[in-house]
Amino acid sequence: MSTLWIRNVKLYDPAGGMDGVPGGILLKDGKILAAGDDKALQKWTAGETGWESIDGAGLCAAPGLVDMHVHLRDPGFTQKEDIESGCRAAAAGGVTSLLCMPNTKPVLDTPEIIRYVLEKGEKASCRVYVAAAITKGLADGEALCDMESLQKAGAAAFSNDGRPVVDSKKMAQAMMRAAAMGVPVVSHCEDLYLSKGGLMHEGSVSRELGVPGVPRAAEECCTAREIALAAAYDVPVHICHVSTKNSAAMIREARARGVKVTGETAPHYFALTHEELRGRDADKRMSPPLREEEDRLAMIEALRDGTLQAIATDHAPHTPEEKASFASAPNGSIGMETSLAASITYLVKPGYLRLLDVIRLMSLSPAQILHLPQGTGTLSAGAPGDVVLFDPDAVWTVDPEKLHGKSRNAVFKGKTLTGRVKMTFCRGELVYRDEE
């Protein structure tokens, strides 16, 4: 399928200002040749042979989604997920580029491990980018990694993910070194002393269940520190999976005074609350935890007013055996296959955001934060041939057994969502087709 004409669709491209414009897309040699009116595109194909055609009647076409927070579990935990299976799940969710986190075994802290992931990613159905570790082994007592060597090996970002850098001086040094290389630092903000032992959000539900809780302060203390470091040293930082109203308020205020801070939230934080935990379902336990209704609404407002620039999933696969016990299960849920549908269901349908806004938050904006190759997250001529076709009105119920990764710990399981990915193209090739 080296030459393909996707026609008769509605085009959504934040970079090009196309907001449901009727037309089509030409893909050739792994790139976008052109996008726009089908009659104009027909002139491009006239006189050339070998063009295949797909009629996308009733479907929307957008740049492939960019998920900037994913756990692929490879190497070391491939019983949960591996690069190939994780990228299958990505493709089924319309994700064509992802940033994988470093908490693997071994940790992604050497050039050799970075190259291993990137080489496996070259053969997968999604473009794989790597967030390398900030400290060796993700241990706070260890020295900073050789960040320059990791960047030369292909690291697209730096993060200690679920093991935040406790030493503020080391974090400041890491942020300055990364800034000098033009590589983002993405920070999982959690004070591990405050969150220790907590299984869910500290609030009315945790108290009713008699379950240890995680206070908002566990996230907010670390968020405040990262903002302070970014302001003091005039360097950028990206805050992962924002979940509390106060974290959003701090980021909003900091951005207003020129601090180089960006942030993301995940679909479960603007869709669900700690009320979901009443059934003691470990699949709905993650870090940070589902919060309260006022926090959920604050995430929506932060996406609406530009405080947060991206929607990411924190896709975190675990085996059914690990998730069997509410009290001892590891944190995390999977979400790449449901992220677009959840965003349409909980943001677009209620009228909080336009569909074009959601596409921007899930494609162009994360690509810009990560400094991905030019054209990523757009339908512009010469851009990567990464496209998602979806039906914005399709209604479906999430069945974990029908998902495409190895794990089944889906936070939206059993939920009825609107919007379904029908086809995904990566590098100009069809990598997913919905058979239902």
- Residues labelled as active-site residues: 314
Q: How far is CA 209 from CA 215, 263, 295, 321, 327, in A?
A: 16, 32, 20, 23, 12
CA dihedral 246, 248, 249, 255 (to 10 degrees): 150
DSSP output for 197-222: T--EESSHHHHHHT--EE-HHHHHHH
DSSP output for 231-274: HHHT--EEE-S---HHHHHHHHHHHHTT--EEEEE-HHHHH--G
Spatial separation of the C-alpha atoms in residues 54 and 270, rounded to whole Å:
35
The letter for the amino acid at 60 is C
**Token pair 């009629």 in the structure block, residue:** 55
Whether the CB-CB separation of 339 and 348 falls below 8 Å is answered with no
Pairing of the two strands 200-201 and 3-13? unpaired
User: What tokens does 205 get?
Assistant: 């539900």
Q: How far is CA 300 from CA 61, 190, 254, 271, 353, in A?
A: 24, 21, 18, 9, 9
Spatial separation of the C-alpha atoms in residues 251 and 260, rounded to whole Å:
10
How far is the first Cα of the chain from the last one, in angstroms, to the nearest whole number? 22
User: How many other CB atoms are there within 10 angstroms of residue 258's CB atom?
Assistant: 9
Query: How much is the CA Rg of the chain, to the nearest whole Å?
Result: 21
